[in-house]
Each structure stands twice: as C-alpha cells, then as structure tokens.
Amino acid sequence: MKISALTTGMSFKRALTTREKKEYEKVCNEARKELDLGKTSATIFDFSFPTKSHDTGIGTSFSKDAQEMAGFLKTMCGINSIQLQPQGEISNYVRSPYSGTSFSLGAHLIDLTKLTDEKYGKLLDKADLNSDYMNRTKWHDAVNYNNVFAKDGQKAMLKKAYAKFAKLDKNSPLKKEFNRFKDENSYWLENDALFEACAISNDSEDMSLWSERDKNIFATPQGDTERIEQLKQVTDNDGNNVVDYEEFVQFIADKQQKESREEFHKQGIEIYGDCLIGFSQKDYWAHKSAFYPNYEFGCEISPGKYSCWSPAVDFSKIDSEAGELIYNKFDKFFKRYDGVRIDAAWQFIHPLICEPYKHNGNDVFDENGNKMGRKVHNQPHVRKNGAHILKDIILKAADENGVKRDKIFLELLGGNSYDSLNVVKGTGTSLIHITRYGKDDWGRVKYYESSGDHYQGMQRGEYIIGPGTHDDLTLLEQVENAGNRAGYLANDLCLNEHELRQSRPKLAQAIFAELFTTKDQFATLPDILGSYQRINQPNTKEGNWTYRTNPNFEQDYFVKLSEGKGLNTPDALSKAIKAKNHGSDSALTQKLDYFANILRQKD
C-alpha cells in the first residue's frame, strides 16, 4: 500500500487550504482502498439544497449550488452517490415528498435562473430574476413553502415562461425537443396533464368532489374519449391551454433533471432515485382498474391503530393492469436515475392493506394528521407472488435499462420487513439497514454480517447501512440517550468504553466509524453536517420537510466539526482501519489522525 508523503508546514486551521485538501483527498482515498469501501451515499431531499442568490425559499438538485455542495461533500466526506428523495409534485397543503406523484416531477424543482439561457430559448429575461418571488426569502433555516406556492410564486413564473414558449416556431430546437419528450412519455404524460384540466373544470384538486363522469374517465381501458377531447381544450384563467402547459412544465423539469445528473456524473457522483411504494391520486385516476376500489397501503402507528398511505394496487391483477403500472413506474425511474431505493419494499411481499374510515363521506384524520383506517381482515396473500413482482416486473425493468442489481436498494424496515428477507435474498439487490436501535444483538455491523440463529448472515455489499433514515432521530439526538451502545462500539472498534459513555461527540464519531467497517454506507444530510434538525417526525403535523442548508454550508460544516459534530471523515476512516487491524496503528492511520485533528481545531 502506498502512503503519500506528509507535507511539512501545514497549518492547524479548522478549514483546509487548497494544498491541504489535495493531500487530504489522497490519504482518504488510500484509506477507502484499504477498507475496500464501495458506495458512500448522502441522503438528500431537494428542498434541503442551498441557494446563494435568487432564493425562492426552496432548494433543488437542478441548481449550480447543488453541484457545488455535492463537490464539497465528495471532497470532505468521500460521497460518491447521492440518494435523492422523491421528486414528485407536492402542494402547500401536502408537502410530504412521500405523497407526491409517481411519474410527474414537481414544478418546484425547476431552476428558473436556467430559463434565461439560450438553450432554453431565453424563456425568462434577466429582469425576471429580480422579481419579488425570487428575492423575498432571507431566512435560510427552513423551507418557505408559502413563497413557493404564493400567487406570484413558481407557477406564475413558469406561466410567464410558457407564454413565450407557446409563441416559438414549431420548428425551433426547443419545440422539436418538446415533441420528442411527449412521444417518449406517452404512457403517463397526457394523463397527468388531463388530471389538472379536470381539476380546473371541477374547480377542485380533490377528486372526490368531481362529477361522477370525471371521476371515472379511465374506469375502462379505452377511456371516455369524448370527455378526454373536451379536457384537451380546457384553458386556465390566463387563457393557457392547461394540458399543453402541464406537459411543458414536465418537459422543462425532465430536461433539467437529465442535465443535473450529467453534471453530478462529471464529479464522479451517481444519483439514486427514491421510488414510492405508494401511488398518487393521479395514478389512481388514470389507472383505476389497477387498484383496489376502497383499500389503501397502510401501517400500524400504535397497537391496533392504523394509518392509510396511498391507493393500493390490486394484487390479484399483478399479471395484468397492476403489473403493467408497476413496470412502467419503475421503468421511468430506471431511466431517470443510476439506481433506485424502493421505499417500504416489504409492501410488495408482505403488504398491509387498510380501509379508510369515513364520516359523512369524508376521510377521518387523527390529531396528528394521519388518515385513519382499519386493517382489512383478509390481507392479500402475496408471499411467493412477491418474488414474481420483484424479479419479473421490477428487476426486468432494471435489466432492460441496463441498471445493475447492486444499484437497487430495498427498504425492509418496519413491522413486516423480517418476513420479507427470504424472498429478497438471492436477487442481487441490496437491503437498507440502520444502527439507530443498536444494541449488543441488533442494529450493528456484526449483527448483520455474523452467522447464527440471532444474526442475518449477510455478506459485505449485500446491504447499505446508516445511522438512521429521514424518519429517524438525528445522530446528535440519538447519542443523548445511547450510552448502551458504548459497550459494543468499544468492543467492535477497539475504543475506550468509558470515554464513549462520558462524551457524546466521541460516541457520535464512533457511530460514524462503525459505518465504514462494512462496504456500503449512507447518512442523511443533517447528520453529515452535524445538525439537530430532523427532516420528518412521523405522526406529527408541524415542522416536517423544512430542513434547509445554509448557503454558507462550508463554514457551518467546519464550525460543527470543531464542536465534535458532523462527519469527521478521516477520524471515521482511521477508527475503521484500526478496528480492522485489532487496534494497531499504522502510517496511514497516523496521517488520518493528523487531518482529523486539523478539523477539530477551533481556529
């Protein structure tokens, strides 16, 4: 193993100089080779990316600022993949990305500054960037949804761009590109746009308030062709053809998504998409025969208390309508991303189906905003059929798009996940695990990789592990009451148990280090940057989906490291190598410790 020479005269400032960064990257890369590491992934929601100018109040992975942050995370943390959370449509009332659309991308993701470029036909002028909407937000600690969905917000700006687009010559490069996009996405694009036309016709986004005819336009395979033609002529209050406008928005979003993926690739970073287990109202409306009429996917949020998530596919139609919908959904994901995380994947193998409660014809919600229901007595007996769904539908779509199995991650966390393991094993896909509930016999690398009745007997590379998901406590919250983890961490990493019990920062760094003792690891952005702010707290109404990174994220990161918070990468790598070598030091760990100490300095 080659160890790069240590340059003398380095300063012990908290942030690294350009010269130091080069040597820092070298030694961290040498450590990664020594540990035979694979994917080191950052879990990031689009809304969390920073914005340095023309801030609308929400971030996007489509922006140059996102690329800058990605490059920083690659340099300082060795991040070589980013798991983007769901990118579907949301609203100011339903902000959860996990309630978004399966096919359509959210209009809020579009970077409006790019629309001033020539390749976008200069659909917006430089003067448009000085609008109130793009300069109102001053507070960067939380997403400003009210600004995004304001009357003069994102939609108003996109309508302004569309007005110019509509006047372009049909033979212009952008119009030709638009037409190709429509042809390539015919399975879903027009249907999603027709939904918006229907909403305007019925003066409501709530499908339950529509006329019976409009609710059931796609109740038959051929559809209500007469009504569809009528909807294609619907215009909004500004005189825009609704279907054409909605297709334009999706075209722009798709174009920017592809461009951003290419830019991430230039930095050596792969992009993974988060594919929802559930479906949106648009999906249900356009493919009604693929779903149970009155049932939804659900989960048990407390003993005997069930919450409903989204329309549930009819498992008796896996070889017909339901299977076709699932295939096309994953086919689109495998086209958009380098790999996919399958949310709540156990629902395809051991589903939990619920029937929503109704009161006077309306859904019933608890005090925390959960849609309530009862567990259906006769649950679908998928089991072996789950392997069919996984192998013959989902993985078939992956194979046809050239996506390798080791780039597919199945979330098997939850009540029915353990029963799904045997179905998943042998498919070549990876499982998602966490250390949050870590104790001597569960939630640790040793538990996942050891053999025996109480262990999972997995191989390195068969799973990816992190300290928690977007629904968990942050790492800083975990260490406040995680002294019981000090014992096994001290044993597995050859550390001092007393020090881990007495120091929360040292315990947090030990938890990070454990991740690097196996091949693939991930962490959420708040954990990497040393933030206490959670992304989502299940079963609560307020404060979720608002975590945002400060534009001065580099400075914040180094400040947090000096406080013992955040991912001190050389420290984690050094501890992992020492654990591998049963506690012994080496020239490589000495260099890693050198840089780790620089990052701890308080300047």
What tens digit of pLDDT does each residue of 515-559 get?
Answer: 999 999 999 999 999 999 999 998 887 889 999 999 999 999 999
Task: Report the amino acid identity of residue 524.
Answer: T
How sure is the predictor about 9, in pLDDT bands with cuts at 50, 70 and 90?
A: very low
Give the C-alpha separation, 168 to 448, whole Å: 58
In this prediction, residue 11 has a pLDDT band, given cuts at 50, 70 and 90, of: very low
How much is the pLDDT for 397? Answer: 98
Distance CA 498, CA 463 (A): 31
Question: Which residue type is seen at 403?
Answer: V
3-state SS, 132-200, equals: CCCCCCCCCCECCHHHHCCCCCHHHHHHHHHHHHHCCCCCCHHHHHHHHHHHHCCCCHHHHHHHHHHHH
Ramachandran category for residue 280: left, alpha or beta (phi over 0 → left; psi -120 to 50 → alpha): beta
111-125, 138-152, 229-243, 449-463: least confidently modelled range: 449-463
Token code pair at residue 479: 């260490």
Closest to 431 in 3D by CA, of 341, 519, 517: 341
Q: Is the pLDDT of residue 2 over 60?
A: no
Tokens coding 481: 């009451």
Q: What are phi and psi of 263, to 5 degrees?
A: -70, -40
Nearest residue to 435 via CA among 543, 498, 507, 382: 507
Predicted confidence at residue 603, as pLDDT, reads 66
pLDDT at 440 over 80: no
- pLDDT at residue 71, rounded to an integer: 97
Q: How many residues does the chain have?
A: 603
Alpha carbon separation from 55 to 47, 120, 309, 580 (Å, rounded) = 12, 20, 32, 46
Mean pLDDT for 440-462 is 80
Other beta carbons within 10 angstroms of residue 580's beta carbon come to: 16
Least confident of 85-94, 164-173, 315-324, 361-370: 361-370
Indicate the residue type of 58.
I
Q: 18 or 323: whose pLDDT is higher?
A: 323
Q: What angle do CA 506, 511, 514 make, to 5 degrees?
A: 120
Short-list 342, 349, 219, 350, CA closest to 291: 219
Q: Report helix, strand or coil for 355.
A: strand
Quickly state the pLDDT bin for 448 (edges 50, 70, 90): confident
The 10 Å Cβ neighbour count of residue 5 is 9
CA–CA dist 198, 204 (Å, integer): 9
For the segment 62-76, the average pLDDT, to the nearest whole number, is 98
| Predicted local distance difference test score (pLDDT) of residue 350 | 84
b/e map 178-199, b = 16+ CB within 10 Å:
beebbeebebbbbbbbbbbbbb
Task: Name the nearest CA neighbour of 572 among 517, 530, 529, 525.
Answer: 517
DSSP secondary-structure letter at 426?
A: T
pLDDT (0 to 100) of residue 416: 62
pLDDT for 43 equals: 98
pLDDT attached to residue 330: 97
Average pLDDT across the chain, whole number: 92
pLDDT band at 16 (very low <50, low <70, confident <90, very high): confident
8 A C-beta contact, residue 290 and residue 314: yes
What single DSSP character describes residue 484?
A: G
Task: Please give the pLDDT value at position 417.
Answer: 67
Averaged pLDDT, 29-49 = 98
Query: Once rounded to an integer, what is the mean pLDDT over residues 547-575?
Result: 96
7 within 8 A of 23, measured Cβ to Cβ: yes
With CA atoms as reference, report the closest residue to 560 among 524, 593, 603.
Answer: 603
Average pLDDT over residues 89-106: 94
Amino acid at 288: K
Domain map of the chain by residue range?
287-323+338-428
Q: Which residues pair with 40 in a beta bridge?
A: 521
Give 298-355 pLDDT, tens digit per residue.
Answer: 989 889 999 998 999 999 999 999 999 999 999 999 999 999 999 988 888 888 999 9
What are the residues whose beta carbons fall under 8 Å from the beta carbon of 200, sequence distance 6 or more?
Answer: 234, 236, 242
- Residues 252, 110 contacting (CB under 8 angstroms): yes
Distance CA 57, CA 545 (A): 13
Contact 309, 120 (CB under 8 A): no
Contact 326, 394 (CB under 8 A): yes
Contact 394, 342 (CB under 8 A): yes
